[in-house]
Amino acid sequence: MNNNYQQMIERNIGLLSIEEQETLRNLCVAVFGLGGLGGVIIEILVRAGIISFKIVDDDKFEVSNLNRQIYAFLNTINKNKIDVTEEFSKNINPEVKIEKYQSVSEKNIKDILNKVNIAVLALDSIKPIIIISRTCAKLNIPLIEGWALPFGNVRVFTNQTPSLEEVYNLPTKGREISSITEEEFKQLKNYMLSTLKEIKGIEEFYGPLAIQKIMEGRIPSFAPMVWLNAVIMSIEVIKIALGWGKISFAPNFSLYDPFNHKIPNKEV
């Protein structure tokens, strides 16, 4: 460790051993999506001492992102999220190494995941989700999933768990990506979101206007809930890397209702 890095992570030591901190320093994490969840996850992991990342997003910041996205400021509007994320990360730790990608496809997914230890799914576009989840399973890379819900939630897919397509009972199982139409992908997004109604107590947070927005692809997102979930997903990255505690393996979610301070039920 160089002197700057040692000073940065000095307060980590005690909760982490030197050996555990070194494990994090040598980790490579892929984060798919740099919106409300992904941006916060990146910042937490950079401050935790991870220095190697693969990041994927093709969007620019816009005014509607200001309500929840950690790198959305008036002076970053219309700038590429991957470039702004890299700049902020290096302002925390100049050692950070980031490989940037604007899209995911069957052609580049293996390059993106090359030398990656853990992947984080922080997007809601179904085609790349399926490509990512299938490839992570083949390469034995843990894939952490979470949704920006009123409840904190996290779930981990591996090649030892049911697949993401199996858990959501998607009709894409066993089909070539090229055989699935864009209209099917659009319908599958709404279908995946509808399965989250199985979480006890969640429907009371989503009235008719919210449901209408969800069906139109404009999912309501509120900073306290989004950032809560990003923290939970970030902790799962660290737990997997260091072998800490109990991992939230699929098909189950680990859930937390912050409004009533309880663990909701989820039927699987």
**Structural domains of the chain, ranges and CATH numbers in brackets:** 3-163+221-256 (3.40.50.720)
The pLDDT of residue 217 is: 67
Helix 223-242 crosses helix 36-48 at what angle (to 10 degrees)?
40
The pLDDT of residue 188 is: 87
Cα 113 from Cα 30, distance rounded (Å): 7
Span 95-106, pLDDT tens digits: 999 999 999 999
Cα 230 from Cα 218, distance rounded (Å): 19
Q: Are 268 and 161 in contact, with CB atoms under 8 Å apart?
A: no
Residues 24-30, mean pLDDT to the nearest whole number: 98
Span 94-149, pLDDT tens digits: 999 999 999 999 999 999 999 999 999 999 889 999 999 999 999 999 999 999 88
Following DSSP, what letter does each residue of 196-249 receive, concatenated?
GGGBTT-GGG--HHHHHHHHTT-----HHHHHHHHHHHHHHHHHHHHT-S---B
Binning pLDDT at 50, 70 and 90, where does residue 186 land? Answer: confident
The pLDDT of residue 225 is: 94
Span 227-268, pLDDT tens digits: 999 999 999 999 999 999 999 999 999 999 999 999 987 644
pTM over 0.85? The answer is yes
249, 150, 125, 182: CA torsion to nearest 10: 110
Query: How high is the mean pLDDT of the chain?
Result: 93
- Reported as type and span, the H/E element at residue 99 is strand 97-101
Say if residue 251 is preceded by a cis peptide, omega within 30 of 0. yes
Binning pLDDT at 50, 70 and 90, where does residue 200 land? Answer: confident
Of 151-160, 205-214, 253-262, where does mean pLDDT reach its minimum?
A: 205-214
**Residue 206 scores a pLDDT above 80:** no
Rounded to the nearest angstrom, the gap between the alpha carbon of residue 66 and the centroid of all alpha carbons in its chain is 19
The pLDDT of residue 137 is: 97
Q: What percent of the chain has pLDDT over 70?
A: 98
CA torsion sign for 107, 33, 141, 20 is positive
Which of 136-145, 197-206, 208-217, 219-228 shows the highest mean pLDDT? 136-145
Residues near 226 by Cβ (< 8 Å), separated by ≥ 6?
36, 37, 40, 68, 148
**Residue 73 scores a pLDDT above 80:** yes
Cα 136 from Cα 157, distance rounded (Å): 9
The pLDDT of residue 149 is: 85
The pLDDT of residue 140 is: 96
The pLDDT of residue 266 is: 65
